[in-house]
Amino acid sequence: MGLLDGKTTIITGVGRGIGKATAEVFVREGAQVLGVDISGAEKDTAAALGGSVVPCHADLTKEEDIVAMVAAAEEAFGRVDALVNVAGTIGGRGGQSSYLSAEEYDLMMPVNLRAVLLACQHGIEAMLRGGGGSIVNFSSVGGINVESMAPAAYMAAKAGVHALTKAIAVEYGRQGIRANVVAPGFTLTELVRDVKSDAIEALKRKSALGRPGECREQGEVAAFLASDRASFVTGAVIPVDGGWSAQLP
Ligand SMILES: NC(=O)c1ccc[n+]([C@@H]2O[C@H](COP(=O)([O-])OP(=O)(O)OC[C@H]3O[C@@H](n4cnc5c(N)ncnc54)[C@H](O)[C@@H]3O)[C@@H](O)[C@H]2O)c1
């Protein structure tokens, strides 16, 4: 028996990194997945994972793409049991010169917060049609406390994800919808696995466990939260950071 046997899910950001690994965990646990990305790599992920993943190309900064994403899931699977918002960006210039700037804010908010809000809005409508569901939103330890290497607007967007998710949990709990946050600490993705910069090496050492996270370790927690095993867990922000956020620097 898989943790997610028979569950129909939408996962964003499946092209690479944590989203891709989360899709792998969900399929392993028996879920059907609408795998969403802007890059085109959602097709590769679907091909690698077999018939349980239906690829969906979408730019989550566009509401019409989000509406189409939810419609595609309902068309493919008949209902939406879980929505997992992994897609995000830490792009932009970063650094002190733009630490507090409207430009940085405008780069960070569309994917990291606005897209999450809209995906939840339209995902909840579908979940209510099916009698309830579970939302898992990805943020960052930088949304809990400050990580000096991250852009300020990134951390503000991720803190916004925490408030948004708690608001959804409170508003929709009595209608059978749970909503929780996975807040990753530094996690090895394809992008950074082999990078040898001082900053990356410092990030790798931040956790209390003395190592960075693996993408699969994020997906495992998301799978639990999406499953019926977490039936009394809602409005929670769960750091998956090897204890990074537990310690003073
Ligand atoms: N990797 C880490 O160390 C870390 C730490 C803290 C938080 N996070 C968070 O975890 C999540 C995943 O991180 P990651 O490192 O795997 O990221 P990543 O950049 O490797 O992957 C993000 C995926 O989202 C997709 N995406 C970006 N913008 C999109 C858009 N507009 N529409 C559709 N898809 C879009 C990308 O194409 C990509 O496939 C993000 O929300 C990130 O902020 C990651």
176 located within any domain: yes
Q: Is any ligand 1 atom within 6 A of the Cβ of residue 44?
A: no
Residue 23 Cβ contacting ligand 1 at under 6 Å: no
CA of 174 from ligand 1 middle (Å) equals: 31
State the CATH number of the domain containing residue 68.
3.40.50.720
Residue at 202 is within a domain: yes
- Which domain range does residue 201 map to? 8-246
Q: CB of 86 closer than 6 A to ligand 1?
A: yes
User: Taken in order 81, 224, 59, 42, is the CA torsion positive or negative?
Assistant: negative
Task: Report the largest interatomic distance among the alpha carbons of the chain, rounded to a whole angstrom.
Answer: 52
Instruction: Tell me the pLDDT tens digit for each residue of 5-21.
Output: 999 999 999 999 999 99
179 within some domain: yes
Residue 3 lies in a domain: no
| Domain count along the chain | 1
- 19 vs 120: CA distance, rounded Å: 17
Residue 97 has pLDDT above 90, yes or no: no
Whether residue 2 is contained in a domain is answered as no
In-domain check, residue 242: yes
Residue pLDDT, tens place only, 15-43: 999 999 999 999 999 999 999 999 999 99
Give the pair of three-digit tokens for residue 8: 């129909």
pLDDT at 216 over 70: yes
Residue 77 lies inside a defined structural domain of this protein: yes
Mutation test residue for ligand 1: of 66, 89, 144, the one with most atoms within 8 Å of CB:
89
Instruction: Look up the pTM and report it.
Output: 0.97
pLDDT, position 210: 93
154 is catalytic: yes
